[in-house]
Amino acid sequence: MSEPKTDLRIQRTRKNIMNAFIDLSSKKEFKDITVKDITTEAMINRATFYYHFQDIYDLLEKVLSEELLINLDKENYEERGLTEEVIINIFEAITTFQLSLSNRCHRGYEDTIARIIRDQLEIIFYQLLLKKHNIQEDDALKVTAVMLSWGLYGASVEWRRNSQTITPEDYIKEALPYIFDFS
């Protein structure tokens, strides 16, 4: 049995709320954005906001998760498996995502951003590792996925802080031969 489709008006309203939040985050610090600001910008009432999101932190998490998923294009990686090219593409996607957020004045929610990126990467890496090893579930692969997600996220933070003189691709390519054997 397939799930019922969500009404297009509901999808549009949800997207409108998210866009209002994104617009506001380019003008104000997260800590200064209120539900009232969002409802005014989105031209909705408070009840409509709370129909879609529990609170402003839930909205933040959903906006960041959806933007990151768009950047990551998860289905593309699942088809190709765990390869050097996939690692490079994922690294480029998360550095692009972080740069786009830094242009929107994201101080105040770095921890949330870091957690969302690591969580999404962990899911992707775990699926890729399961596929590569042709098994259904494995605790050691979960640990491996955690290590990969934290490591790649940490490398992206380091690149953003100190190494923007080279491309993300060149930055990560230097390390890959020492970590993986893709032959």
Q: What pLDDT score does 1 carry?
A: 45
Task: List alpha helices for 45-179, DSSP H.
Answer: 46-52, 56-72, 74-80, 84-102, 110-133, 139-162, 168-179
Smallest Cα–Cα separation from 114: which of 77, 155, 144?
Answer: 155
Q: Name the pTM for this structure.
A: 0.73
List, for residues 26-83, the tens digit of each pLDDT value: 788 778 889 999 999 999 999 999 999 999 989 988 888 887 777 777 667 667 778 8
Q: What pLDDT score does 177 carry?
A: 85
Report residue 5: phi and psi, to 5°: -75, 145
CA 8 – CA 12 distance, rounded (Å) = 6
Residue ranges per structural domain of the chain = 8-53, 62-179
CA 150 – CA 182 distance, rounded (Å) = 20
Helices 139-162 and 168-179, axial angle in degrees (round to 10): 140
Model confidence at 15, pLDDT cuts 50, 70, 90, reads very high
Q: What pLDDT score does 104 carry?
A: 57
List, for residues 79-134, the tens digit of each pLDDT value: 777 888 888 988 998 888 877 776 555 556 677 788 888 998 998 899 888 888 88
CA 78 – CA 45 distance, rounded (Å) = 40
CATH code of domain 8-53: 1.10.10.60
Q: How far is CA 164 from CA 95, 158, 169, 171, 179, in A?
A: 10, 9, 11, 9, 22
